[in-house]
A = this chain, B = another copy of it.
Amino acid sequence: MTSALPTPDTLEAVPSAVEAALEAFFARAIPVAADIDPQVGAAGEVLRDFVLQGGKRVRPVFAYAGWLAGLESSARDPAPGPEAPSAHDALRVAASLELVQACALIHDDIIDRSDTRRGHATVHRVFERSHLDDRWAGDAAHHGVAAAILLGDLALAWADDMVHGHRPGDATEPGESAPRALPAAVGRVWSSMRTEVLGGQYLDIVNEAGGDESVGAAYRVMRFKTAAYTVARPLELGATLASAPAPLISDLRSIGHDLGVAFQLRDDLLGVFGDPERTGKPSGDDLVAGKRTALLAVGLARAGERDPALAARLRAAIGRPLTDDEVRGARAILTDVGAVDEIETQIEGLLATALATLATADMSDPVRVELSVFAHRIAHRST
């Protein structure tokens, strides 16, 4: 099945190819779940719908970009053997990142007690709703959380199955060959990435509970929870699969860190100033949710330097429901103290550094151009 899927030649084509690869994975995994019980199959469909209902596929795009860059490095061994990973392997590895992300989002939504994501009910709310609809016994909200914990776990287990080319079920299909084992170097990147995102998420909730509002804490979380997980490790994953030489991998890590931080800083700005029509999130969502973003940390630090009362006003607008006037007030403080300008300046600086590293990195020009376009888009997006 998988070998019949077209593999993308450009980054533009990655999201739809990734979605096709995920569809093919679910088409084989869900019947295995349904063999346990139709109810388990139905849960697998909830996961499929969640994964396929949207998202920018940022991580797979970067992973595939790393693959193309590694493949087109001039320093690369010119004659890969028959055992070398193929573009199909690269697509599969890239797509499996969306299953890690499904686990992260499903569990994050429990942790953040979010009711909606991308305009749909969050997974724990979906299961809570069917508990209520079926008039089941017990605490519907707790049932929703319990089911969503298990579905997130399944997503993480299936991510590992997909990246390794395994799938639940006992037999290979007729004519199907065993998957090529993932090279150990790729396994190490995969491993580091999962530990980093989970460690970054853990650090995030600890900083929030511990009231650490320092700029340093916000950047530390961002480095692991976003920059490594969203850009740097995906780029490295693809490049390592392509057996890219060490200097290119080092350049891609550096580019990945800079773009990843820029990606998150843009997210921070959109989380407070974004247009709800475009982002799909309520106005001032990050303030209401009490997220300890870099924007907020910089804002609090700058407000505190100018006038402690101003910092107190900003602090009072975090982590509780806000009126439109209160959102506007908090935005005004962030703008007036120069936090917005500082974050915009950082984004431009990071983008410039990433583009400078990219300009001299060892890859073919078509890949370089595509990555530059994507880098601009990541840093300047409005959704």
Residue ID in chain B nearest A193 by CB atoms: B168
A113 contacts across to B, CB distance below 8 A: 142
A 32-53 binary contact with B (CB < 8 Å = 1; else 0): 1100110110010000000000
A205, CB-defined interface residue at 8 Å: yes
Q: Which of A166-216 contact B (CB under 8 A)?
A: 166-170, 178-179, 181-182, 184-185, 187-188, 190-192, 194-196, 198-203, 205-206, 208-211
Given A143-B209, A182-B181, A205-B143: A198 and B164 interface contact (C-beta under 8 Å): no
In the complex, A137 has a CB within 8 A of chain B: yes
DSSP class of A's interface residues: helix, strand, loop or mixed? helix
Kindly identify which residue among B152, B182, B184 contacts A153, using a CB–CB cutoff of 8 Å: B152
Known: A192-B168, A210-B134. A111 touches B146 (CB 8 A): yes
A147 part of interface (Cβ distance < 8 Å)? yes
- The complex places the Cα of A138 from the Cα of B184 at a distance, in Å, of 42
| Residue among A39, A188, A206 facing the most chain B CB atoms (10 A cut-off) | A206
Is A376 among interface residues, defined by CB-CB distance under 8 A? no
- Chain copies in complex: 2
Q: When chains A and B are docked, how far (Å) is the Cα of A196 from the Cα of B146?
A: 17
Residues of B within 8 A of A33 (CB): 195, 199
The answer to whether A328 has its CB under 8 Å from any CB of chain B is: no
**Nearest B residue to A181, CB-CB:** B181
Interface pick from A85-93, A155-163, A266-274: A155-163
Contact with A202, one of B147, B160, B203 (Cβ below 8 angstroms): B147
Give Cα distance in the complex from A195 to B157, angstroms.
Answer: 7
| Contact A184–B165 (Cβ < 8 Å) | yes
Is A164 touching B151 in the complex (CB atoms < 8 A)?
A: no
A313 beta carbon closer than 8 Å to chain B = no
Residues of chain B lying within 8 A (CB to CB) of residue A168: 188, 191-192, 194-196
Interface centre among A32, A150, A151, A156 (most CB of B within 10 A): A150
**Residues of chain B with a CB closer than 8 A to A170's CB:** 188, 192
CB–CB A36/B152 < 8 A: no
Residue A154 lies at the interface, judged by CB distance under 8 Å to chain B: yes
How far is it, in angstroms, between the C-alpha of A19 and the C-alpha of B99 when the chains are bound? Answer: 31
* Contact among B39, B111, B211 with A149 in the assembled complex (CB-CB below 8 Å): B111
Knowing A160-B160, A191-B168, the reply to whether A36 touches B150 (Cβ < 8 A) is: no
CB–CB A150/B107 < 8 A: yes
Assess whether A37 is in contact with B211, with CB atoms less than 8 Å apart.
no
Q: Closest chain B residue to A194 by CB distance?
A: B157
Selected A-B contacts with CB under 8 Å, 14 pairs? A32-B192, A32-B195, A33-B195, A136-B210, A138-B209, A150-B198, A150-B201, A150-B202, A154-B195, A166-B190, A166-B191, A168-B196, A169-B191, A181-B182
